Amino acid sequence: MTSAPPRRRPAISAATPEHLDTHAMLAHAAEVAARLLRADGAMVYLVADGRMRFAVDAGIQNPEAQQLIRDLKLPVGVGLFGHAVATGEVVVSRDYRRDKRFPHSPVADRIVMIANMRSMAAAPLIAEGEVFGALGAYSSRIDDFDEAEIALLRALADHAAAAIANQRLIERLARSQEELERRVEAQRSLGEIAARISAIREPDDVLQRTLDEAVRLLDADGGRIELVEQDGGLHWAFGHSAIDLPFEREVGERLDVADEGVSGRAVADRRVVRTGDYLTDPSFAHAVAPDRYIRQHGIRSVMSAPLIGEEGAIGSLTVHSQTREAFEPADAELLGVLASHAAIAVTNARLYEQLRERIDAQQAMAAISAEIAELHDPAAVLQRTVEEALRLLRADTAIINPLGDDDALLGWPIAYAPADGRADDIPVRIGEGISGRAMAERRVLRTGDYLSDPAFEHTEELDKYIRRRGMTSVMTAPLVSSAGGLGALTVQSARLNAFDEGDAELLRLLADQAAIAITNARLYDKLGEESAALARQTDSQRRLLQINERLLSTLEPASVLELIADGLKSVVWYDYLGVYRAEHQEGLLRPVLARDRNAEAVLGFPIPRGQGVTWWSVEHREPVLLNDALDDPRVIQIPNTPDEEEAIIIVQLISGEEVIGAMNIARRGGAEVAFSDADFELVQLFASQAAVAITNARLYYQLRQRADAQRSLAEIAAQIASLHEPQTVLDRAVADAARLLRADRAQINLLGEGGTHLDRPIAAAPVPPSPDDVIVPIGSGIAGMAAAQRRVRWTGDYLTDAEFPHDEGDARIEGQGIHSMMSAPLVGPDRLIGTITVQATETNAFGSGDAELLKLLADQAAITLTNARLYAELEESERRYRHLVDNSPDIVWSVDEAGLFTFFSDSLEARTGWKAEQLLGRPFTTLAGEATLASAVSAWERLQSEPNREQRVRLDLPLPDGRLAQTEVAMTGTMVDGRFAGAHGSVRDISERERLEGDLRGQAAALAASQERAHLARELHDSVTQALFSMGLTLRTLELLFGVDDEAARTKLVELRELQKDALAEMRALIFELRPSSLESDGLVQALRTHATAVQRRTGLVIVVDAEPIDRLALPAEEALYRIGQEALHNVVKHANASNATIRILREGDRVRLSVTDDGAGFEPDQVPRGHLGLIGMRQRVDLVGGELRVESQPGHGTIIEASIPPDEVELAE
C-alpha cells in the first residue's frame, strides 16, 4: 500500500515524523544523544520513497542550516547518514568535510559548513531486519567522539528503533482492527440491504437502492446503473445523484458490452472490474463519450460489477471516485456481492410483476367471459375487449375491425380504445398489412417495427397511416367462429418491440372471447326472428313430448285419452271432441270419450256402420276436414244434438294395420271458426300419437297385471319380515280389516288403565287416529260389549239396535252417519288387550263371515301385542336393574392393624341399619357371616403379606335384625412408615342385584314358556286338527261314493286309515313336546327324527336327519338341542320357502354340534328385528347350557343354524 486516500485512511505510518508519538520519541532520542555524547547537536533521518529525509534535530542554531536541513532529501548512500543507512553500520567521521569514504551532497556539505560541524557519527535505525533511518550526532571539534560515546550512540539508535518498531506494530494492529470493523459494518449493511431490496417489488427501486448503498459503503463519489437492452448494448439507466448524469448522451444510447469502459468489460467478463486510474488504464477499451465524462468530472478510480440474472447479464453496477486507486480487492468483493443481491431482487421483482400481469389478464378474461354469458349486445362486449386489450398489453391503441360480407375487406372499426383518434382509421384489404395478413392466415401476427418489417405486404396507404399515428409495434389476432372469419382485433404501440409471445397469446384469447360474443349475439338474433307459426309448432311438439312422458306413468287407456284431449285443446282450440272405438264385428263406432258440447248425447249413441262422415273416414282410412259440415251429404245428425253450423275434423286411430277407432273435433259457427290446414295436420299428428299411446297403454296395462302377480309374492315376503314391529302390524291389521271387510273405518283400541274402558284408537284406517276419537267404557257400545263378552259382536244398524247399551258416544256415531259396526276382542294368553272395530255407513254391511275374518285379524294383533309387551317388560326390568346397581352407594370403611373398625361412611346406616358407633372398635369378623368368615380371614391374611394388592371377597353381612345381606368387599392395606398399619375398603350390597338377576331369569323362563305354549297351540292347529278335518271330508266323500263307485271308495278307505295314523302320530308328538322328560327315554336323535317325520308328512318339506351315533348327553343339553332343532325347522317352514332341509348331529372333539340347513330364501342376519323371538329363544337356550349359536344366512342362499354345546354339559351325562 502506497498512497491511501487521506479521508478514509488517516496517513499514519511508523516512519512518519508528523505522528506525534513517533516524532516525540525521535526528538527525545536526538536530545539524549546530543547530551550524553556531549555533542553540539544530533539529528534523525528517515527513509521514505528510497530517499533520506530529515526528521528531527537537536542543537542546530543557524537559521539557514535549519531551513536547509528541513527540506533535505538525500538518496540512500549519500552523506554520512546515507552511508550508515546503506551499510547498516555505525559510521564515524573525524572530520566530515574531509572524509572521502562516502559521496558528498553539496547541500549537506553546505549545512555542515555553516553549522560548523566537524566530527560526526551516525547509527542506523534497524527494526525487523530493515533499516528505516539513522540517528547521528555532530561536534565542532575534530575527532570528538571516543569509543564509549560511539557505543552509546549505537545503543540509543537501537533503543529508538525498537520503540518505533513497537509503535508501528501497535498502529498496524489498530489499522487491522479498523479494517475488521469496516468489514463487519459492510457485512451488516449488506444484510440490511439484501433484506430491504428483497422486499421491493419494483425492479427500478431495487437498483436505485442498491446503487445508493454501494456508493455509501464504498465511500465513492458517485455511481450509475446501466442495463442491457434488447439491442445487446448497455444503456445508462440512472445515476447515484444529480452529478451522475449520462455521458452526454440521450436516454437509450448504448455502450458496447464487449469492449467499452469498465462496465462493458465487467458485463462481458462477468466479473467485477476496477481501475485505479481510468484514463491511463489500457486493460479495457476506451470510448469517446465515457472518457470525456471521466475527464470532465476528475474521476480517477472506477469499479463496476455485472448484474447477472437467471438468463444472463442484465446490466452493471458502477461506482467511481476522484481519488486515485480508491478501491481495493475487498471493495470489489463487496460490490460484487451487492450486485448479485440486486440481480436476484430484480429477477424476483420482474417475476412478481409478470405474475401480477398474468393474474390481471386472467381476471380480465374471466370478467369478459362472464359478461359474454350475460350480454346479448355484442357492442358492449367488443368495447370491453378492446379496453382490456389496451390495458393488459400496454398498447396505445386497440381496435376491432369487422370482416366485410364479401370476406375481402376489414371494415371501419366497430370497437375502439382509447376513445379518441378514431376518425383516421382506414379499412384494410385481406392480405395487406399486419391485420389483413393475420386475417388471411387466421393466426396472430405481430411486428416490433412495422415500417421496416419486410415480413408482410406494405401498402403506401397503410404505411402512411402507421407513420401518421407514430406507431411502431403492431399485433393482430383474427376473430374466427365456427362459421368463418368475423373480424380482427389489433393493438398498436409507439414503442419498439412492444409485444412478445405472451402478449400474442393473450391477444388470441381476447379475440376468441370476442368471436364467441359475436356468434352468440347472431344466434340470439336469429332466435328472436323465429315466426309465431314456428313457435306454435315448437309448442305442439313440446306438448306431444309431454304427453308421451306422462303416458309412461299412466296406466289406464282412459286417462291416456284424457291427456291427449287436454293436450290437443291447448294447441287446436275446439268446443267438441269425441273418441270412438271401432267394433268391427258389431259394426259399431262406440263412443269412449266425449268432451264439452253435447258430450252426453254423443256418449249415448254408438254410430252404426255406414252412417255419417266418421264411418266414412274409418272405412276409407282418410282424414276429413269439413268447414261447411251442414252442406256435406255424408254428415248425419247425432240424436238429441242441435242442428247447427260447425267445422269438423275427423281422423282415424290406427294401430298397426288396424283402424282401432276415430277421433273428431268440432267448432260451432261459420267461416270465422274454420280449421286451417295447419290445424288439420296437428290433429292428425295428435291422433297418431293417441293411437300409439292407446296401444301402448293397453300393452302396459296387461304387462302390469302380470308384474303385479309376480310382485305380490315379493310384497308378501317383505310383509312377513316386517311383522315384528307392533305398530306396523297393528296398522296393517286395521288396513286389512277396512279393506277386506269393505268398512269405512277400522280401528284398534287398547284396554285402558284400570281395565274400565277402551282408550282412544292406537291404530286406525283409512283415517288415522284423531283427537276426536272417543273413549269407550267396557260393557257399552259394540266395542265395549265385545270386550266385556270376549267375543265378536256386530250390528246392522247400531243406533236402532236395542241389544247394546247405548251411551253419549251415539251422537258421534250418528254424526258420522255410521250404521253397521262390528267389533272383535283382542285376547292375550292371560288377559284382554283391547278390541278391533270396523264401521260402515251402509246398513247390514257385515255378516258372520266377516266376523270370522275380523276374529282372525284380532288374534293376530293380540299375539303381536303380547309378544311386544313381554319384550318391553323384559327390557324394562333390565333397565331398572341397571339403574339400581349404578346408583347403589358403597359403604366405605377402615380398620387398624389389629383388624378393629376405625371408620364407616354415612351410607352404613342407610344400607345396613347398623349405626357406626355400634361397630367402631369391634373386629372386622363381626361383619362376616359364618359361611363367609373363613374367606374374610384369609383375605385379611393375604392383605397383611401383600398390602398393596387389592382383595375382593363376597361376604354374608349380618344385619341388626339377624338377616344376612349379600355383599362384595374390596380392600387394600394401609402402610405407615413402611409397616402394615391396617386396611380400608368398600362394601357393596349385592342382594338387590342377586334378586334382580333371579327375576330376570324368571322373566326369561316365563317368556320361553309363553312361547312354548304359543308354539304348541300352533302345532295342534296345524297338525292334528287338519288331519281330523281331512278325515271328516274323506268320510263325506266315502258316503257319496258308496254305491256309485265302490273301487274309488275302497281307495278312500285306505287313505282314511293313513289319515288316522297321522293324527295319532301327531298327537303323540305333541304330547311328547308337552313332556320333554320323554326325551330321556328316546334320546335326542330319535326325538328329532320323529319330529322331522311329522313335519315332512304335514308340509311336504323334505327333511334329512343326518346323525352319527352319539352318547346320551345331559338332559338340559339334549332338551336345548331338541328345542333349537324344532324351532329352526319351524322357521324353515314358516319363512324360508325351502324344498329341502337337513338336520345334522355330530360330535366334534368334546363338543356336540347340531345344525339345521335349508335351501330357502335366506335373510340378512344383521337385519333381523329385535323382536324376532325365534332366534332370541334359541340363543337363550344355548346360553343356559353355556353353548354357542351361529346363524349363517344371506338372501337367496339359504340358512344354517348351528348350536354347539361345550364339554361340561356333554360330560355331565356320563
Partner 1 sequence: MPPSPRPVLPSPPRVVIIDADRRVQQSLADLLGVGGEVDVVGRAGDVRAALQEVERSHPDVVLVDPRLPDIDAGIALIRGLGTAWPGLRIVMTGWNDTDGHSQGDARTRYVSKGGSPEEFVSAIVACCAI
From 515-523, 524-532, 713-721, 920-928, give the range in contact with partner 1 by CB under 8 A.
713-721
Site mask, partner 1, residues 834-853, x = CB under 8 A?
A: -------------xxxxxxx
Of 1177, 773, 1180, nearest in space to 1011 by CA: 1177
CA neighbours closer than 13 Å in the CB half-sphere of residue 512: 11
H-helix or E-strand spanning residue 516: helix 501-528
Strand pairing report for 428-429 and 1199-1205: unpaired
Window 1055 to 1074, contacts with partner 1 (CB under 8 A): 1055, 1059, 1062
The nearer residue to partner 1, 603 or 856, going by C-beta atoms, is 856
By C-beta, is 179 or 715 nearer to partner 1? 715
User: Given the complex with partner 1, which of 110 and 1021 has the nearer CB atom?
Assistant: 1021
Which residue, 868 or 1115, has its beta carbon nearer to partner 1? 868
Q: With contact defined as beta carbons under 8 Å apart, do 81 and 43 qualify? A: yes
CB of 587 to partner 1, least distance (A): 27
Subset of residues 381 to 420 that bind partner 1, contact rule: CB under 8 A: none
Q: Is 1137 in the site for partner 1 (CB under 8 A)?
A: yes
Region of 195-203, 226-234, 1051-1059, 1183-1191 interacting with partner 1 (CB under 8 A): 1051-1059
CA distance 11 to 26: 18
List beta partners, residue 647: 667
Cα–Cα distance between 421 and 403 in angstroms, integer? Answer: 21
Q: How many beta carbons lie within 10 A of that of residue 914, not counting itself?
A: 18
Task: Check if the beta carbon of residue 674 is closer than 8 Å to that of residue 625.
Answer: no
Q: Which three cell numbers stand for residue 252?
A: 437509450
Grid cell digits, residue 290: 465515457
- The residue within the footprint of partner 1, chosen from 535, 713, 981, 1102 (CB under 8 A), is 713
**Cβ closest to partner 1, residue 480 vs residue 1103:** 1103
One of 24, 367, 1016, 1040 touching partner 1 (CB under 8 A): 1040
Place of cell 455509501: 216
User: What is the DSSP code string of 246-276?
Assistant: -SS--TT-EE-TTTBHHHHHHHHHTS-EEES
- Binding partner 1 (rule: CB under 8 A), the pick from 537, 548, 888, 1034 is 1034
Stretch that binds partner 1, among 126-134, 565-573, 643-651, 733-741 (CB under 8 A): 733-741
All residues at 6 or more sequence positions from 90 whose CB lies less than 8 Å from its CB, including other chains:
84, 121, 122, 123, 124, 150, 153, 154, 157
Instruction: Look up residue 309 and give its amino acid.
Output: G
**Residue 296 vs 1025, nearer CB to partner 1:** 1025
Q: How far is the CB of 1118 from partner 1 (least distance, A)?
A: 27
Distance (Å) of CA 685 to CA 320, 379, 688, 1208: 97, 44, 5, 85
Under 8 Å between Cβ of 982 and 902: yes
| Burial of 1162 (C-beta count, 10 Å sphere; 0-12/13-18/19+) | buried
- Shortest distance, position 719 Cβ to partner 1, whole Å: 5
3-state secondary structure 1064-1122: HHHHHHHHHHHCCCHHHHHCHHHHHHHHHHHHHHHHCCEEEEEECCCCCCCHHHHHHHH
Q: Least distance (Å) from partner 1 to the CB of residue 1024? A: 11
Minimum gap (Å) between residue 705 Cβ and partner 1: 6
CB of 700 to partner 1, least distance (A): 15
- With CB under 8 A as the contact rule, which of the stretches 333-341, 782-790, 1023-1031, 1183-1191 interacts with partner 1? 1023-1031
Smallest distance from the beta carbon of 778 to partner 1, in angstroms?
Answer: 21
Query: Whole-number minimum distance, CB 586 to partner 1, in Å?
Result: 22
Question: Which of 596-612 are b and which e, b meaning 16 or more Cβ less than 10 Å from the residue's Cβ?
Answer: ebbeeebeebebeeeeb
Stretch that binds partner 1, among 471-479, 622-630, 1025-1033, 1102-1110 (CB under 8 A): 1025-1033
3: enclosing H helix or E strand: none
- Which positions ≥6 away from 419 have C-beta within 8 Å? none
Among 766, 1032, 1169, 1186, indicate the residue that binds partner 1 (CB under 8 A): 1032
Q: How many residues bind partner 1 (CB under 8 A)?
A: 57
Among 330, 355, 811, 1033, indicate the residue that binds partner 1 (CB under 8 A): 1033
Q: Which of residues 545-574 bind partner 1 (CB under 8 A)?
A: none
- Measured at the CA of 695, the angle between CA 694 and CA 699, to 5 degrees, comes to 115
**Spatial separation of the C-alpha atoms in residues 458 and 469, rounded to whole Å:** 16
**What percent helix, strand, coil does the chain show, rounded to 5?**
50, 25, 30
Burial 652-688 (b: 16+ CB within 10 A, else e): bbbeeeebbbbbbbbbeeeeebebeeebbebbbbbbb
Q: Which is nearer to partner 1, 688 or 1137 (CB)?
A: 1137
Of 175-183, 275-283, 553-561, 1052-1060: span binding partner 1 (CB under 8 A): 1052-1060
- Minimum CB separation of residue 711 from partner 1 in Å reads 8
Mark 738-777 with x for binding to partner 1 (rule: CB under 8 A) and - for no binding: -xx-x-----------------------------------
Shortest distance, CB of residue 769 to partner 1, whole angstroms? 22
Nearest by Cα to 652 from 595, 614, 680: 614
Site string for partner 1, 1084-1103 (x = CB under 8 A): --------------xxx---
State which of residues 1036, 1061, 1068, 1170 lies at the interface with partner 1 (CB under 8 A): 1036
Q: Which of 23, 94, 254, 855 binds partner 1 (CB under 8 A)?
A: 855
Which is nearer to partner 1, 1036 or 1068 (by Cβ)? Answer: 1036
With contacts defined by CB under 8 A, name the span among 660-668, 756-764, 905-913, 1015-1023 that binds partner 1: 1015-1023
**566, 1022, 1188, 1192: which one binds partner 1 (CB under 8 A):** 1022
Q: Which of 587, 1029, 1169, 1194 binds partner 1 (CB under 8 A)?
A: 1029
416 contacts 399 by C-beta, under 8 angstroms: yes
CB atoms within 10 A of CB 152: 19
Residues 956 to 995: which contact partner 1 by CB under 8 A? none
Residue 108 CA to residue 95 CA, distance in Å, equals 14
Nearer to partner 1, 906 or 1039 (CB): 1039
Which x/- pattern, by CB under 8 A, does the window 771-810 give for partner 1?
A: --------------------xx------------------
412 neighbors 428 (Cβ within 8 angstroms): no
- By C-beta, is 113 or 707 nearer to partner 1? 707
Kindly state the smallest distance separating residue 583's Cβ from partner 1, in Å: 21
For the segment 652-711, give every residue that binds partner 1 (CB under 8 A): 705-706, 708-711
Give the Cα-Cα-Cα angle 1010, 1015, 1020 (nearest 5 degrees). 130
Tally of CA atoms within 13 A in the half-sphere of 281 that contains its CB: 23
Residues 6+ away with beta carbon under 8 Å from 190: 334, 337, 338, 341
> Quick one: 455 or 709, whose CB is closer to partner 1?
709
Contact set with partner 1 (CB under 8 A): 705-706, 708-713, 715-716, 719-720, 723, 732, 736, 739-740, 742, 791-792, 847-853, 855-856, 859-860, 1018, 1021-1022, 1025-1027, 1029-1034, 1036-1037, 1040-1041, 1052, 1055, 1059, 1062, 1098-1100, 1133-1134, 1137
